[in-house]
Amino acid sequence: MASVRTGRTRLGTLSLSLLALVVLSLIGASPWALQAFGGSTARWERLSFIGQTYGAASALLAAVALVGIVATLIFQARETKIAREEARRIAIAELLKMAMDDPDLDEAWGPVPAGESRKARRQLMYINMIISEWQMSFETKALPETRLRAISREMFSAHPGRAYWREARQARLSTSDTKRARRFHRILDEEYNRAPAPPPDRPRSRRPWALMTGTAVGLTLASILARALTRRTRNRSRR
């Protein structure tokens, strides 16, 4: 997905650069183009009119070239910003993966709440990386809004997704620094409220284990009783 975004940006930058090059080439070749006009060089008035026309066209072409150069610089700056942000998020994701695998490194991110499930904390870290990737894709318009709504609603239909948004909602909504980022988090909040609440977790039934234990005990007692009866029978037969 990142390579597609980079390819599109580079294609746009290349197109604008070629356009600016063509415009500058036309401006540079315009003096030779004026030689195509016939007539005596003594007709200064005619040449003056041609010069005035050339000056107006040159100014127009120069303005178009300037716009193309500015647009090219803007696209390059935007591409650099996207690449820098993506590299930063990849680095953070690698650090989070290390914290997910090592409880000692997890504590380096801040105090771990006492009694918190290790499984639940790993899930929250993983969901944070997923949403960060969604945000990057949405801000670069690689992830359409309809798709974002569908996948976020599915995530918030389960306990881990809802638990994450309850904790991160306020922080993410208050730290959005761009219009696109604010729109992204509003969509997540809307889909969180629309998603159906999952059923409460039920404790795992221990009846199968109790049944297996009772069966094993019963078989053991039956085996002991059968052996005792067999011994008594043998003793009576010997007498």
Distances in Å between the Cα of 110 and the Cα atoms of 106, 107, 114, 153, 211 are 8, 5, 12, 29, 45
User: Which pLDDT tens digit goes with each residue over 177-233?
Assistant: 889 999 999 999 999 999 998 887 665 554 555 545 555 555 565 566 556 656 665
178: left (phi over 0), alpha (psi -120 to 50) or beta: beta
pLDDT at 77: 81
pLDDT at 225: 56
Handedness of CA 108, 109, 111, 117 (dihedral sign): negative
Q: Choose between 83 and 194: higher pLDDT.
A: 194
Instruction: Quickly tell me which residue has 């039920």 as its tokens.
Output: 202
Q: What is the rounded distance in angstroms from the CA atom of residue 214 to the CA atom of residue 220?
A: 10
Q: How many Cβ atoms sit within 10 Å of the Cβ of residue 123?
A: 18
User: Which pLDDT tens digit goes with each residue over 25-40?
Assistant: 665 565 555 555 555 5
Q: What is the rounded distance in angstroms from the CA atom of residue 19 to the CA atom of residue 15?
A: 6
pTM for this entry: 0.55
- Highest mean pLDDT out of 2-11, 104-113, 215-224: 104-113
Are the CB atoms for 180 and 137 separated by under 8 Å? no
Q: What angle do CA 15, 19, 23 make, to 5 degrees?
A: 170
201: left (phi over 0), alpha (psi -120 to 50) or beta: beta
Report the amino acid identity of residue 130.
I
pLDDT at 182: 93
- For the chain, give me the number of helices (H) and strands (E)? 8, 0
User: Which pLDDT tens digit goes with each residue over 153-186?
Assistant: 999 999 999 999 999 999 999 988 889 999 999 9
Q: What is the rounded distance in angstroms from the CA atom of residue 20 to the CA atom of residue 57?
A: 15
Per-domain boundaries in the chain: 2-34+45-84, 113-194
pLDDT at 110: 76
Kindly report the backbone phi and psi dihedral angles of residue 26, in degrees, each rounded to the nearest multiple of 5, phi listed first. -65, -40
Q: What is the rounded distance in angstroms from the CA atom of residue 18 to the CA atom of residue 34?
A: 24
Q: Does the pLDDT value for residue 143 go beyond 80? A: yes
Q: What is the rounded distance in angstroms from the CA atom of residue 197 to the CA atom of residue 159?
A: 8
Q: Does the pLDDT value for residue 138 go beyond 70? A: yes
